[in-house]
Structure 1
């Protein structure tokens, strides 16, 4: 029996269930909505576009080929969002000429500053959300040791002294949480 948890992406591609789809929507909806609003899309239209984007992802993720390339899923999602934005702005004649030439071209180019900012925002946001999801899997002591060391940036020796633990226990706590984060985020964070 394999005790290694599958990543969310693995679950969605091989054996999708309602919980996995819900988790994907919970992970990505706030990020996608923020991105849509940054492009000047009204709240109601942004909600509609979000649903369209999620439907495309649901339909296409079983066929997504990761290829092992870092950021492949992130780039794939960015392409879906860009294409839905393109369709939206084309349907909104008054905004299309202002928006399309510059922003969409930048989003389609993975080397552009805008794409790089999207990638950075995506990875930071997703890591934060995944940490929220996996936190209940750990004891409060393990989580506190991890948080003080990784999030707050304290050296392991200072964390050990503060928590009354050995340096080795603090390093093990950090390792366990990071291993679980990598498992859950495999293929999602580039």
Structure 2
């Protein structure tokens, strides 16, 4: 049975939007990247193989689109300002300052990871995909995905500890 691209959009657009932001696409490019993801979904829906979940397939497309936008931004030497790096899943302007700071710190830490580690960390730790779905979305062996998650966790936790130490000495 062929996939319905409109139904896929309705079901998956909110978290794809969030994932794209968490994967480092500049806030000004997020809507364009989201549109690119679902243009590809629409074009390739007829070719989808039922071997895996639609969610993992859409995530795989989002990963590749986000990487393309990050490369484009790097190639044009745009430097993200503090405002551009601010949000991972922002909620309201009335949010408490420490919550905003935590998201900014996480965005900065994630920016320092290589694409593969960042993607595994975001999809598993922040988006709640299973490791099987992460491996499928990244088109990588399951063991490789586990290794990347382990490495990413070590790097993220070490960066958080360094940040906490710096904050304690201010």
TM range (shorter): 0.3 to 0.5
TM-score in terms of structure 1 length: 0.42
TM-score in terms of structure 2 length: 0.46
Greater relative contact order (CA < 8 Å, ≥ 6 in sequence): 1
